[in-house]
């Protein structure tokens, strides 16, 4: 069987735009093969399109002639008339075309029937072919017949199909289906019935609810008194709650304003203290064995195990180096990089003599060329010119030096001298030549010959010239020979009070003539420098500047603070006179039937007694007479009060004169240095008959108990018991030295002092509490300091000296940690440190509270009795009964003298604002809403034991017979330096502070002890001789 050749495809003509439901134009003229017809058929399947017109049905056959005959018939076929009609399907499943119902078979049935007819037709043709062999071709009878009308396939939905409808009808007619329908209908009827019943029931319930009127359960009027009391309690509770909320808002507002007015460092300090307090108040539970490690695993170990051993230390050598030859007992023996000379550690660089060849000794031999007792530059072998230029630092330019002349014929007078002369340098010879030429020239120009000097004069001038040249040459050589590098000395100052700042200031002053340089590190545990860390700043409305209040009070008196005043003058600190006035009062606590009152007993107007005293308001007649009293009664009362006041003033004057007489150094008893104040008061009390008759014995007791004891209790910030047992010599020195002098205060506050003293410090460590002090790991002669930081501990090492400018109680544990870290063979140093610790343990300290507030009830009740400083003590009757008991954290024991200072208002302070008070050691608390700041401090108190221990830190020498203990010459005690002054190894440990000086522990002791430690301690141990005094 052969296949016909296919024609090449021709390009189709472009058809018009296609519109849905409308046949495109030109579709009839387009010839298409079977694939195009199939594609068009597939595209038109979506619609129900009726195909009309004549169409030839192509029959395929296996023979070639049939294929050709079919193609010929297709070409003869006419074009079809295609018209699209509307095709719809009714609910009953009938097809409606163009509005007319169609009947007949579907296209699928027509296709099946056509296939059957074709097969029958082919069978008939085959039979005819078998019967007659004459014809091999046949023609289709359909050529002349009219084509049949056919429909395109149409998709019929499932609901419109006849077979599906029949199946559904059969299923619905079964018994189960009928029964199911009945059940569903019954269920629907029941649900509708329930809905109707529920709505009817709801309507009936609403009607009944409208008709029912509930009874009110009212118990009002049963018990009016109880009901009123309950209402009263509720109303009071509501008012109290509103008041508390208002107070809380006011306190919060004041707290916000107070914190806004505080400096940043003080605010940070307060936050840290509050956080520390919260951490301490947080309850800590009891943990089981190793419970804190449960979350870390069973085999987890702390990092402490890594600190038990130093893994970086040198390991023990397995070879005995001492058995090797001496030439091999060096580091890196046999290596190319090894040098014969190791280090300067084995050399004494403090000796000015020359060294021997090879640098192994400091004996007379020292020339590297010949080994003679001279330097290489003076060696006689240097006869020729300098042939080789120096290298390294030897070739560095040294600047224009002094031209020298040397009579020796050495290499320095060869080409070098000629070069200097050629380059224009004027040596002694050239200057002499110029002088002679100038004289000759002048002589040639003058009319008379030059005057000839005597021969002896020329000879003496030449001798002086040669001696001057020799001295210049010798000084130049010495200057070049004695050049040294500065030696760095590290000093740690612990504590930033006035003592620590003074010591740091003296160390940082330039010492140009000394080959030492001090590197000072100042350590302070507070967030700011200690001398000003407790001070507060108060805002002044309508002013940019703040009111700085020093805490505690920083006043000083002329005669007792000589060194402090000299220091302030040298620094340029401005201060002014402030002659304070005093009032001495008694506090009567609140009791049954009486209010708390503060009554003045004596008023002192200051200025060392030059301003006299005033009458207290308690003696005035207004307190004893009514307004209805007669004039005679008033005059009599006033005369009586004036007489009593004059009598008491006379007794007070006599007692004060006796005190001055006993305070004169030349009239003091030899027992005074070993007497306490109680013993001195008893020994000096008048005991004669006249004294008893005039009442001077009682007046002396009242004077000591009501004037001196409160006064020195306020000065020493100590309770009455400590004042009574205080050594009396310090009190008498204070009275004598302050006689006729003025009080002073710094104008710009202690912040100005701190700024000036710390201006030269480069290493200031604030918020750095010290944990321990240990010997340096690299050099046991030095010390290292371990500090606590938020991120962990921090170690500062390499300190030659440590100055403790803090309380003795705070220095003891740190020094003890150093003693415990000493090596076992350091017995002498351990003994010295132990004696120093024992000495410091003899000093006692008392807590002190300073409160800034606006409460005006901590001063005398009568405004006429109020003065600059108001000293208030508990009256004798209440003290005997023990009526006052203050458990407040803001109070001290009632045996203290409460000192309230009325702070002077700054310029521009509004008058409508309340006064600001500073109370030291309050025995009654101020109102909480009036408190501005609270500071808790510690002050040293002198006792007979501490006075004896002071001899280990401070000793007086050369006191004149008219001088007090603090006026004579003094030197450091033997315990200062912990053996450094006696030549022992180890760092120097020095103590300074207010307690390390003779007298009452005040600011003067800080300055004097710090200066003594620096000048007599550190400078002397380092071999420094001060060329000038810092102040006179």
Distance CA 979, CA 832 (A): 6
- Its CATH class, for the domain covering 492-553+744-855+927-1032, is alpha beta
Structure tokens at 1014: 């620096």
Give the residue from 245, 263, 280, 275 showing the smallest Cα distance to 933: 263
Structure tokens at 83: 């018209």
Tracing tokens 């009878």 back to the chain, one arrives at: 141
* Interval 183-193: pLDDT, tens: 999 999 999 99
Give the residue from 782, 776, 763 showing the smallest Cα distance to 988: 782
pLDDT score of 94:
65
Structure tokens at 454: 């005597």
Distance CA 211, CA 214 (A): 10
Phi, psi for 94 (deg, rounded to 5):
-85, 150
Query: Is residue 133's pLDDT more than 60?
Result: no
**SS (HEC) of 856-909:** HHHCCCCHHHCCCEEEEEECHHHHHHCCCCCCCCCCCCCCCCEEEEECCCCCCC
Structure tokens at 805: 């400018």
Going by pLDDT thresholds of 50, 70 and 90, the confidence category of residue 890 is: confident
pLDDT score of 239:
92
Bridge partners, 87 (sequence order): 97
Distance CA 141, CA 272 (A): 118
pLDDT score of 486:
63
Residue range 1010-1017: mean pLDDT, rounded = 93
- Burial (CB count within 10 angstroms: exposed 0-12, middle 13-18, buried 19+), residue 976: buried
Going by pLDDT thresholds of 50, 70 and 90, the confidence category of residue 991 is: very high
Outline where DSSP puts E strands in 13-129.
50-51, 87-89, 95-97, 100-101
Give alpha helix (H) positions in 775-888. Answer: 808-820, 827-840, 876-881
Pairing of strands 87-89, 150-151: unpaired
- Using an 8 Å Cβ cutoff, are 724 and 713 in contact? no
408 against 750, higher pLDDT:
750
Give the residue from 718, 731, 725 showing the smallest Cα distance to 941: 718
Structure tokens at 154: 């149409």
Residue range 361-378: mean pLDDT, rounded = 59
Distance CA 373, CA 727 (A): 65
Average pLDDT, the chain: 76
* DSSP for residue 452: P
Question: Residue 176 contacts by C-beta under 8 Å, 6 or more apart in sequence?
Answer: none
Query: Is residue 630's pLDDT more than 70?
Result: yes
Query: Is residue 636's pLDDT more than 60?
Result: yes
Query: Is residue 368's pLDDT more than 70?
Result: no
- Using an 8 Å Cβ cutoff, are 705 and 723 in contact? no
pLDDT score of 886:
67
pLDDT score of 649:
92
pLDDT score of 635:
83
Give the residue from 129, 148, 147 showing the smallest Cα distance to 137: 129
Pairing of strands 792-799, 783-789: antiparallel
Query: Is residue 339's pLDDT more than 50?
Result: yes
Distance CA 686, CA 1019 (A): 52
pLDDT score of 764:
92
* Interval 456-511: pLDDT, tens: 444 444 555 555 555 555 554 554 444 444 678 999 999 999 999 999 999 988 65
pLDDT score of 119:
54
Query: Is residue 114's pLDDT more than 70?
Result: no
Give the residue from 907, 914, 908, 911 showing the smallest Cα distance to 931: 914
Give the residue from 766, 808, 828, 1028 showing the smallest Cα distance to 938: 808
Task: Name the residue ranges covered by the structural domains of the chain.
Answer: 35-130+138-160, 492-553+744-855+927-1032
* Range in 126-135, 700-709, 741-750, 847-856 with the lowest mean pLDDT: 126-135
% of the chain residues with pLDDT over 70: 64
Going by pLDDT thresholds of 50, 70 and 90, the confidence category of residue 429 is: very low
- Using an 8 Å Cβ cutoff, are 654 and 697 in contact? no
- Using an 8 Å Cβ cutoff, are 770 and 803 in contact? no
803 against 967, higher pLDDT:
803
Which H helix or E strand runs over 970? strand 969-972
- Using an 8 Å Cβ cutoff, are 574 and 746 in contact? yes
Question: Residue 4 contacts by C-beta under 8 Å, 6 or more apart in sequence?
Answer: 64, 67, 68
pLDDT score of 867:
93
Structure tokens at 30: 């387009």
Burial 752-777 (b: 16+ CB within 10 A, else e): bbbebbbeebeebbbbbebebbbbbe
Give the residue from 414, 399, 611, 551 showing the smallest Cα distance to 937: 551
Query: Is residue 812's pLDDT more than 80?
Result: yes
Question: How would you list the strands of the sheet with 87-89, edge to edge?
Answer: 87-89, 95-97, 100-101
* Interval 212-259: pLDDT, tens: 666 666 677 788 888 888 998 999 999 999 999 999 999 999 899 888
- Using an 8 Å Cβ cutoff, are 599 and 584 in contact? no
Going by pLDDT thresholds of 50, 70 and 90, the confidence category of residue 959 is: confident
Distance CA 599, CA 290 (A): 63
Tracing tokens 């008070």 back to the chain, one arrives at: 917
Phi, psi for 810 (deg, rounded to 5):
-85, -25
- Using an 8 Å Cβ cutoff, are 988 and 802 in contact? yes
- Using an 8 Å Cβ cutoff, are 535 and 549 in contact? yes
pLDDT score of 72:
47
* ω into 552 cis (within 30 of 0): yes
Query: Is residue 590's pLDDT more than 50?
Result: yes
Going by pLDDT thresholds of 50, 70 and 90, the confidence category of residue 419 is: very low
Distance CA 949, CA 1001 (A): 14
Query: Is residue 584's pLDDT more than 50?
Result: yes
Helices 827-840/808-820 angle, 10° precision? 160
Q: How far lies 939's CA from each of 270, 390, 995, in Å? A: 22, 65, 9
* Interval 508-522: pLDDT, tens: 886 555 567 899 999
Distance CA 885, CA 895 (A): 11
pLDDT score of 35:
47
pLDDT score of 752:
92
955 against 308, higher pLDDT:
955
pLDDT score of 205:
86
pLDDT score of 446:
41
* DSSP for residue 102: -
Distance CA 103, CA 884 (A): 126
């Amino acid at each position: 069987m052969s296949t016909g050749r296919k024609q090449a495809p021709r390009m189709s003509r472009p058809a018009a735009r296609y519109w849905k439901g409308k046949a495109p134009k030109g579709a009839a003229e387009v010839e298409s093969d079977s694939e195009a017809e199939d594609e068009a058929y597939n595209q038109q399947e979506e619609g129900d399109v009726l195909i009309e017109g004549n169409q030839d049905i192509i029959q395929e056959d296996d023979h070639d002639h049939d294929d050709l005959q079919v193609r010929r018939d297709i070409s003869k076929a006419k074009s079809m008339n295609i018209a699209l009609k509307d095709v719809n399907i009714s609910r009953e499943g009938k097809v409606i075309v163009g509005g007319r119902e169609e009947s007949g078979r579907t296209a699928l049935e027509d296709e099946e029937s056509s296939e059957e007819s074709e097969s029958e037709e082919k069978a008939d043709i085959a039979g005819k072919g078998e019967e007659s062999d004459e014809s091999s071709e046949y023609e289709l009878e359909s050529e002349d017949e009219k084509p049949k009308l056919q429909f395109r396939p149409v998709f019929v939905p499932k609901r419109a199909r006849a077979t599906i409808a029949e199946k559904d009808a059969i299923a619905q007619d079964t018994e189960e289906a009928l029964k199911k329908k009945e059940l569903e209908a019954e269920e629907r009827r029941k649900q509708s019935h329930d809905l109707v019943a529920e709505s009817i029931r709801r309507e009936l319930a609403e009607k009944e609810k409208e008709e029912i009127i509930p009874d009110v359960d009212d118990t009002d009027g049963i018990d009016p008194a109880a009901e009123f009391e309950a209402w009263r309690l509720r109303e009071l509770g509501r008012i109290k709650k509103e008041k508390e909320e208002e107070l809380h808002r006011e306190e919060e507002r004041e707290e916000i304003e107070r914190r806004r007015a505080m400096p940043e460092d003080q605010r940070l300090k307060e936050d840290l203290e509050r956080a520390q307090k919260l951490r301490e108040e947080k309850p800590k539970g009891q943990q089981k064995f190793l419970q804190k490690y449960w979350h870390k695993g069973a085999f987890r170990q702390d990092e402490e195990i890594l600190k038990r051993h130093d893994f970086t230390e040198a390991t023990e050598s397995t070879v005995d180096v001492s058995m090797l030859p001496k030439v091999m007992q060096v580091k890196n023996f046999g290596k190319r990089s090894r040098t014969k000379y190791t280090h300067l550690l084995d050399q004494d660089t403090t000796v000015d003599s020359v060294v021997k060849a090879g640098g192994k000794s400091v004996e007379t031999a020292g020339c590297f060329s010949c080994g003679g007792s001279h330097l290489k530059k003076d060696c006689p072998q240097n006869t020729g010119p300098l042939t080789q230029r120096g290298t390294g630092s030897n070739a560095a330019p040294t600047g224009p030096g002094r031209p020298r002349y040397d009579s020796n014929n050495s290499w320095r007078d060869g080409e070098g001298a000629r070069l200097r002369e050629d380059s224009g340098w004027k040596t002694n010879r050239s200057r002499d030549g110029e002088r002679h030429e100038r004289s000759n020239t002048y002589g040639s120009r003058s009319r008379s010959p030059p005057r000839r000097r005597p021969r002896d004069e020329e000879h003496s001038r030449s001798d002086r010239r040669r001696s001057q040249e020799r001295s210049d040459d010798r000084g130049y050589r010495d200057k070049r020979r004695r050049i040294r590098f500065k030696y760095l000395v590290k000093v740690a100052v612990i504590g930033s009070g006035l003592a620590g700042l003074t010591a740091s200031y003296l160390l940082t002053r330039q010492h140009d003539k000394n080959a030492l340089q001090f590197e000072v590190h100042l350590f302070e545990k507070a967030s700011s420098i200690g001398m000003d860390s407790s001070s507060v700043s108060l805002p002044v409305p309508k002013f940019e500047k703040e009111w700085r209040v020093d805490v505690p009070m920083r006043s000083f008196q002329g005669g007792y603070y000589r060194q402090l005043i000299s220091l302030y003058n040298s620094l340029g600190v401005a201060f002014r006179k402030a002659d304070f006035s005093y009032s001495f009062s008694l506090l009567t606590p609140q009791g049954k039937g009486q209010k708390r009152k503060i009554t003045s007993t004596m008023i002192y107007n200051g200025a060392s007694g030059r301003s006299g005293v005033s009458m207290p308001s308690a003696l005035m007649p207004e307190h004893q007479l009514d307004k209805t009293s007669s004039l005679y009664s008033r005059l009599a009362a006033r005369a009586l009060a004036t007489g009593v006041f004059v009598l008491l003033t006379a007794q007070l004057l006599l007692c004060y004169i006796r005190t001055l007489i006993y305070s004169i150094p030349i009239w003091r008893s030899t027992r005074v240095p070993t007497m306490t104040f109680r013993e001195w008061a008893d020994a000096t009390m008048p005991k004669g008959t006249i004294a008893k008759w005039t009442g001077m014995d009682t007046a002396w007791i009242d004077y000591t108990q009501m004037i001196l004891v409160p006064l020195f209790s306020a000065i020493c910030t100590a309770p009455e018991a400590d004042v009574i047992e205080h050594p009396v010599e310090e009190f008498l020195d204070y009275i004598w030295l302050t006689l006729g002098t003025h009080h002073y205060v710094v104008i710009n506050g202690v912040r100005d002092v701190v700024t000036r003293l710390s201006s030269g410090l480069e290493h200031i460590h604030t918020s750095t509490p010290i944990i321990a002090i240990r010997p340096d790991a690299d050099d046991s002669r030095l010390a290292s300091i371990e500090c606590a930081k938020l991120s962990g501990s921090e170690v500062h090492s390499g300190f030659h000296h440590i100055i403790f400018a803090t309380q003795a109680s705070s220095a003891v544990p740190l020094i003890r940690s150093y003693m415990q870290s000493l090596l076992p063979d350091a017995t002498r140093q351990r003994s010295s440190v132990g004696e120093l610790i024992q000495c410091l343990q003899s000093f006692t300290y008392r807590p002190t509270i300073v409160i800034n507030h606006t409460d005006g009830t901590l001063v005398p009740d009568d405004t006429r009795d109020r003065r600059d400083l108001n000293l208030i003590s508990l009256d004798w009757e209440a003290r005997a009964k023990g009526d006052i008991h203050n458990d407040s954290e803001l109070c001290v024991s009632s045996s203290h003298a409460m000192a309230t200072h009325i702070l002077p208002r700054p310029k521009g302070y509004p008058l409508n604002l309340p006064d600001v008070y500073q109370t030291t050691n309050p025995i009654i608390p101020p109102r909480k809403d009036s408190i501005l700041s609270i500071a808790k401090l510690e002050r040293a108190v002198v006792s007979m034991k501490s006075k004896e221990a002071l001899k280990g830190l401070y000793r007086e020498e050369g006191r004149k017979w008219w001088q007090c203990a603090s006026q004579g010459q003094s030197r450091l005690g033997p315990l200062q330096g912990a053996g450094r002054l006696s030549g022992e190894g180890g760092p120097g440990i020095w103590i300074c502070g207010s307690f390390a000086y003779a007298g009452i522990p005040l600011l003067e002791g800080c300055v004097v002890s710090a200066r003594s430690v620096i000048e007599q301690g550190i400078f002397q141990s380092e071999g420094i001789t001060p060329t000038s005094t810092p102040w006179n």
